[in-house]
Amino acid sequence: MVVVDSESATILRVKGLLEFRCQLDSTDEQLVRNAISRTFETLRSQVKSESCVLAVSDSPVIIWPNKDAYATPEEITPSTPCEDMHQWIQADEQETSGKKSSKKKSKKSSLSVINLRLMTEVTKPGPLSAPILTKTVLKSHFVSVTLPLDCVVRTGSSDTIKEYVLYTKHLLIEALTHQLCEMEKVTLQNMKGMTLLVPEPVHFLLPEPKGLVTVVYPAGVPDSQLVTQRKELHQQFDLPDDRPYFRRANAYHFPNEPYKDGYLRNPHLALTHPTLDNGKVYLVQGIYSYHHYMQNRVDDNGWGCAYRSLQTICSWFRQQGYVERPVPTHKEIQQALVDVGDKQASFVGSRQWIGSIEVQAVLSHLLGLTSKILFVSQGAELASKGRELANHFLTEGTPVMIGGGVLAHTILGVAWSETTGQIRYLILDPHYTGAEDLQVITDKGWCGWKGPDFWDQTAYYNLCLPQRPKVI
């Protein structure tokens, strides 16, 4: 387990592949299990040996953790501060490519991560002995599996390389060997005859102060078949049993890893909270994707704002692990409304608007979710709904879709003063048509804090407040 809340901390993450090769000379179950355990013990000895090498990714730095403080290049000495290694690590591809990029970053992405690759030194100094070839003919079963190791530990940025190497020797090597023990346990528990399931490590960031936790799951086994394991983990870490923490969708996304789907996550984290007299801020909990006009090569400018708000909500439920279904497309949303009898068949493929009631129906039909609807007869009344919205974000924490007149928006939070009644709304605007540029989106107010005058004071509004399912 790693605690990652310290701004001065550096996370060391080592990833590597180890080849699991096991010859099974018998079909007896106990003998097979013994052979598998011996192979794992050999791998644990391998990571403890002097041949174990850690290469800092995107740099020329190489470290032998099981020897004395020894690294290349020569400029790195045992007294070099650990944080100085960053100068040897190449900048992100986006920054080195010369392309214009946004300089504004999420406040939550300040965590420093040093990635290392686990390797094995296969040559040794000194004379080499001549190879000896032998031939043996026997009937046996040979199992070959590639194990994907992935471990993390935390170190202070002021540690020197020598301290760092000692740290990795005692903690990172220990973490690697412990992970191999967990992989052995998962492998033996999920054996099917002579077939082995590959164990895969997954990182989860739990609520403070528990920190970053790594769990090994059997690859190919769906979350629906891992309920027992998740219940045990919830008990082990004293977590509530009404929301998921250990589904694969809950896996921690390291700040130096770009999302492959191209969507921005949580752009509101780059904003500064408003200050109100005796006010508090109540925000969406967890991770969502920003869906807006013109994405996915769909020209929905002028009619698709509620569809995009719904997609943002669906992305939240998917990334919190509540559902596995991909975010629905416009046509899938329209077809769902036809299926529930809300629309005629001609609605599919059209450019017709939808509102909060339709959003509620689609969430129910496609994702099995319930939602509350809050009716406001005119926009001026929204200023009096601070308590309801604050309670929603405090207890449910889901994005809220609001529709009024011909416009739809997503509410991600409120700043509200119970004593003065002052309120500000954190708005994610689906009407944005530009690129995924965090700087533009936040500077131009496409994601930003708005006052009560943001709403049409005479139009009526419906708010769809999705509810969390009570599941783990």
- Residue indicated by tokens 């928006």: 409
**From CA 133, how far away is CA 237, in angstroms rounded?**
53
C-alpha closest to that of 83 among 6, 165, 160: 160
**From CA 433, how far away is CA 430, in angstroms rounded?**
8
**Which is the catalytic residue, given 22, 52, 151, 305?**
305
Beta pairing partners, 195: 192
Beta pairing partners, 416: 280, 423
Angle between helices 173-189 and 29-48 (to 10 degrees): 170
**Beta-sheet strand order (sheet of 71-72):** 71-72, 62-63, 52-56, 112-120, 9-24, 141-156
Q: Half-sphere exposure of 311 toward its Cβ, with a 13 Å CA cutoff?
A: 24
C-alpha closest to that of 60 among 74, 73, 75: 73
C-alpha closest to that of 56 among 168, 210, 192, 175: 168
**Which is the catalytic residue, given 150, 431, 443, 456?**
431
Residue 305 a catalytic site member: yes
**From CA 314, how far away is CA 322, in angstroms rounded?**
10
Is residue 300 left, alpha or beta, with left meaning phi > 0 and alpha meaning psi from -120 to 50? alpha
Residue 431 a catalytic site member: yes
| 149 contacts: CB under 8 Å, gap ≥ 6 | 14, 15, 16, 17, 18, 118, 176, 179, 180, 201
Question: For residues 363 and 469, is the Cβ–Cβ distance under 8 A?
Answer: no
Q: What is the separation, in whole angstroms, between the first and last Cα of the chain?
A: 21
**Which is the catalytic residue, given 203, 268, 392, 429?**
429
Question: For residues 15 and 148, is the Cβ–Cβ distance under 8 A?
Answer: yes
Residue 273 a catalytic site member: no
**From CA 356, how far away is CA 314, in angstroms rounded?**
14
Angle between helices 356-367 and 305-319 (to 10 degrees): 40
**From CA 465, how far away is CA 449, in angstroms rounded?**
19
**What are the two backbone dihedrals, phi and then psi, of residue 217, each rounded to the nearest 5 degrees?**
-115, 155
> Which residues are catalytic, by number?
305, 429, 431
